[in-house]
Amino acid sequence: MKMFYAVLFTLAFFLGSSTRRSDAQDVTEVISRDLYETMFKHRNRFYSYDAFVAAARSFNGFGTTGDFITRKRELAAFFGQTSHETT
């Protein structure tokens, strides 16, 4: 059942946003605060959007390399895996 939710979550993220920028310099251009808050309504408040952005920025190229679809897929895979592993 966890795998089902991880796949569903990943698909929802991948299909959700309509931003089409091809020159993203930061994960904030791929996932907005509102989308993050919507996707993680029941998370521990320790895992805030600001904490996610700070962590993502510490890994050069994470969510910022390639075209928009590639960046979105990378974040969807990350969120799908972390959701599957944590709840």
Residue 47 lies in a domain: yes
**Which active-site residues does the annotation give?**
85
Q: Is residue 57 part of a domain?
A: yes
Range of the domain at 81: 26-85
Q: Contact, 10 vs 76, CB < 8 A?
A: yes
Q: How confident is the model at residue 16 (pLDDT cuts 50, 70, 90)?
A: low
Looking at the 3D structure of the chain, how many domains does it have?
A: 1
Asked if residue 10 belongs to a domain, the reply is: no
Q: Which two tokens stand for residue 15?
A: 């299909």
For the chain, the maximum distance between any two Cα atoms, rounded to a whole number of angstroms, is: 37
Percent of the chain at pLDDT exceeding 90: 45
**Predicted TM-score of the model (pTM):** 0.68
User: Does 40 map to a domain?
Assistant: yes
Give the model confidence (pLDDT) of 40-79 as tens digits: 888 888 889 999 999 999 999 999 999 999 999 999 999 8
